[in-house]
Amino acid sequence: MSDTIPQLSSYDEPSLEAAFATLSAEVRQQAAALANAEAQENFRLHWLGRKQGRLKLISDAWLKAAPAEARKPLGIRFNQLKQQIEETLESGAVAAKAGAETNVQGIDISLPGTARQPGIAHPLLSTMHEVVRVFHQLGYSTNLGPQVESDFYNFEALNFPPNHPARDTQDTLQIANQQARPSRDRLLMRTHTSPVQIRTMIAQGPPVRIVIPGKVHRNDAADATHSPIFHQIEGLCVDTNITFSDLKGTLDHAMKALFGSAVKTRFFPSFFPFTEPSADVQISCIFCGGTGCRKCKHSGWIELLGCGMVDPAVFAAVTAERRKKNPDDDAYDPAKISGFAFGMGVERIAMMLHGVSDIGQFYSGDMRFLEQFA
Ligand code: PHE
């Protein structure tokens, strides 16, 4: 490209006309040769570059020497030339894009597009949704609580007194440097979702019908069926005249809704500090229908959840808290109301529903595993 500044012999109309015609022809000629985006950018810099652009250099040279009456026609012609250059660039850009196939800088519309995989719910999340939905259909609502809990909500109010051996059943991850605090305020990672029962009853009076899905933490070694972080779904129902029959009917219905109407349930005596009586619930093996197989260790039954009638000691702890606000509060007087609670492990249910044999798969982030749930 030429860099010399052309001489302008005179500022009269015909000389200006001729000089700009030459420049315009130069622009047109160069424009025709713009093969790709890089050439186009060079062309732009050559003409419109702010400091060394040809247009700027020529206009500086010509305008400086111009007599006053020639400035206006000069200015008009420079603007026209500039417009021609800009239009060339605009149409050039369009051509570069549409020119496609042979142009490496452009977009090749003949190539297949980039497929965007829509995300899916993680199998643990979809299992939680499935269980929660069953209870929503029974009129339950969902409550959540913090994963970092105080000793009071996680243990004490649930009738695990300090130093009571029942605490050994839930090997707890404590938050460091809590010794200076009173024992009820010491922080820990919640070991179950049951503290949300307490939080809910302190905040609202009966009737209560809630499910509580969430993450819990225990100092358990990881193996094929254990993980130090896992998920539970808790349920709590408190109202007048709630009986063990209601508990049995509710859980029997829920298990049938989750695993199919052929599933049977049975209840075994168990122990939890916050329920009395307590029970472990087993369902008939969904793999063999109860005849006995490897999955149910040839018993025909699979243990799935813990449950029981809310212990009056729990209502007493809740009432003591509520009385800090209202000394006459007796909303949770066990003479007037009763309730049941239950809790189940989400991983265990998800493993059964999907035939997963290693719990670690849920946390591995391995797309080959996760894609199977799409
Ligand atoms: N919180 C108990 C556990 O984690 C489960 C449970 C919940 C039992 C509610 C009874 C009632 O082991």
Question: pLDDT 10s digit of each residue in the chain, 374 long?
Answer: 557 788 887 888 888 888 898 889 888 888 888 888 888 888 888 998 888 888 888 888 888 888 888 888 888 989 999 998 988 888 866 565 555 444 556 778 888 888 888 888 999 999 999 999 999 999 999 999 999 999 999 999 999 999 899 999 999 999 999 999 999 999 999 999 999 999 999 999 999 999 999 999 999 999 999 999 999 999 999 999 999 999 999 999 999 999 999 999 999 999 999 999 999 999 999 999 999 998 899 999 999 999 999 999 999 999 999 999 999 999 999 999 999 999 999 999 999 999 999 999 999 999 999 999 98
110 lies in a domain?
no
Does the CB atom of residue 275 touch ligand 1 within 6 A? Answer: yes
* Whether residues 196 and 314 fall in one domain: yes
How high is the pLDDT of residue 60? 84
How high is the pLDDT of residue 101? 44
Does the CB atom of residue 306 touch ligand 1 within 6 A? Answer: yes
Reference 289, options 268, 255, 263; nearest CA is: 263
Partners of residue 148 on adjacent β-strands = 189
The Å distance, Cα 373 to ligand 1 centre, comes to: 29
Exposure string of 50-59, with b = 16+ CB inside 10 Å and e = fewer, is eeebbbeebb
Distances 149 to 174, 175, 187, 213, 218 between C-alpha atoms, Å: 10, 10, 6, 15, 13
Element (DSSP H or E) covering residue 322: helix 312-322
* Whether residues 89 and 133 fall in one domain: no
* Whether residues 129 and 91 fall in one domain: no
Task: Concatenate the DSSP letters of all residues of 165-195 into one string.
Answer: GGGGGS---BPSS-TTS-GGG-EEE-SSSTH
* Whether residues 128 and 97 fall in one domain: no
Place of tokens 């670690």: 360
Reference 260, options 294, 232, 285, 235; nearest CA is: 285
pLDDT digits (tens, 9 = 90+) for 23-62: 898 888 888 888 888 888 888 889 988 888 888 888 888 8
Could you give phi then psi for residue 72, rounded to 5 degrees? -65, -55
Tokens of 213: 């899905």
Q: Compute the C-alpha angle 300/277/197, nearest 5°.
A: 100
The residue nearest atom 3 of ligand 1, judged by CA position, is 192
CA dist 201 and 213 (Å) reads 17
3 lies in a domain?
no
6 lies in a domain?
no
pLDDT digits (tens, 9 = 90+) for 318-365: 999 999 999 999 999 999 999 999 999 999 999 999 999 999 999 999
246 lies in a domain?
yes
- The minimum-distance atom of ligand 1 relative to the CA of 343 is 7
Domain stop point among 103, 135, 165? 103
* Whether residues 268 and 330 fall in one domain: yes
Identify whether the C-beta of residue 197 lies closer than 8 Å to the C-beta of residue 275: no
132 lies in a domain?
yes
* Whether residues 156 and 292 fall in one domain: yes
How high is the pLDDT of residue 115? 85
Residue-number span of the structural domain to which 35 is assigned: 13-103
Identify whether the C-beta of residue 314 lies closer than 8 Å to the C-beta of residue 198: yes
The residue nearest atom 6 of ligand 1, judged by CA position, is 343
The residue nearest atom 10 of ligand 1, judged by CA position, is 307
The residue nearest atom 4 of ligand 1, judged by CA position, is 192
Q: Report the relative pairing of strands 338-345 and 265-272 from DSSP bridges.
A: unpaired
Name the amino acid, one letter, at 371: E
CA dist 56 and 43 (Å) reads 14
Does the CB atom of residue 308 touch ligand 1 within 6 A? Answer: yes
Reference 198, options 315, 305, 309, 306; nearest CA is: 315
4 lies in a domain?
no
* Whether residues 73 and 183 fall in one domain: no
Could you give phi then psi for residue 151, rounded to 5 degrees? -55, -35
Place of tokens 């800090």: 324
CATH of the domain at 275: 3.30.930.10
In the chain, the N- to C-terminal Cα span, in Å, equals: 59
The residue nearest atom 5 of ligand 1, judged by CA position, is 343
Residues 6 or more apart whose Cβ sits within 8 Å of residue 346: 124, 127, 128, 131, 213, 230, 231, 232, 233
Distances 73 to 14, 67, 78, 84 between C-alpha atoms, Å: 11, 11, 9, 17
* Whether residues 189 and 63 fall in one domain: no
Name the amino acid, one letter, at 321: E
Distances 17 to 8, 9, 13, 76, 310 between C-alpha atoms, Å: 11, 12, 6, 11, 100
Number of structural domains found in the chain = 2
How high is the pLDDT of residue 70? 86
The Å distance, Cα 218 to ligand 1 centre, comes to: 14
Identify whether the C-beta of residue 190 lies closer than 8 Å to the C-beta of residue 154: yes
Residues 6 or more apart whose Cβ sits within 8 Å of residue 317: 156, 157, 158, 159, 198
